[in-house]
Chain A
């Protein structure tokens, strides 16, 4: 396995923050981060639920939600051991609950932390009306 394609929610500020963090980590497996609303995401992840984090390997294996997040950690040099720990029978249910809690509330968490994705910023900027100067 050489590459993992990671599809993340492009309308969530927290997800954009985690994406930037992932990009800056040294990795054993290359991570290609794909916005959920892009054509590439629709091409790579056909028929998979759009709301969830998804990871696709270059061998065609797909991981969703909590498993996808564990796979992202497994790809990173510094966090592979953490991924292996989180996948053990003892920690896996806890990791799943934590993942579900964060994933369900990601919009609220982004709002509380003041995090905005590029898509949200674009939408917000497009709604700004620039006042016109009165012409004499």
Chain B
């Protein structure tokens, strides 16, 4: 009875949550990436954008894939429970994806630090090179 309304509510809330998380990721990931790419703002912006596109594709894909259900929504209570459990799953997936993205950002930053690190030990001598 309320199944179409449930689907619409689920899609609206899930997509809004995806957009919210993706925007947060895009805004705050930039700082990490600029540091990882040693101040190369253009490259950082490009990688950031690509990561967010991947994030959108996976999440929107999952949200639409997980839309259908065998459960019925004959009463308002059943409809609310259905929407709630579905959105709960989506939020958990979003959370996992968000932490995965943080892990990727941090790895890129550490990798950048490693490549450009200075020798860890002081030289014992210095000679004039020809």
Contacts and interface: CB of A to CB of B under 8 A. Distances in A.
In which size bucket is the chain A interface? 20 to 34
B117 interface: yes
A45 to B, nearest CB: 8
B124 A80 contact: no
B117 A64 contact: no
A42 B103 CA distance: 48
A115 to B, nearest CB: 27
A109 interface: no
A86 B119 CA distance: 12
Interface in A27-65: 28, 45-46, 48, 56-64
Contact of A67 (B115, B121, B129): B121
B120 to A, nearest CB: 3
B127 A80 contact: no
Nearest to A45: B127
A81 interface: yes
A110 to B, nearest CB: 25
A12 interface: no
A14 interface: no
Contact of A84 (B115, B120, B124, B128): B120
B121 A64 contact: no
B127 A63 contact: no
Contacts of B121: 63, 67, 70-71, 87
B123 interface: yes
A46 B75 CA distance: 90
Interface of B: 114-115, 117, 119-129
Interface of A: 1, 28, 45-46, 48, 56-64, 67, 70-71, 74, 80-81, 83-84, 86-87
19 contacts: A1-B119, A45-B127, A48-B125, A56-B127, A60-B126, A60-B127, A60-B128, A61-B126, A62-B127, A63-B119, A64-B124, A67-B121, A67-B122, A70-B121, A71-B119, A71-B121, A74-B120, A86-B120, A87-B120
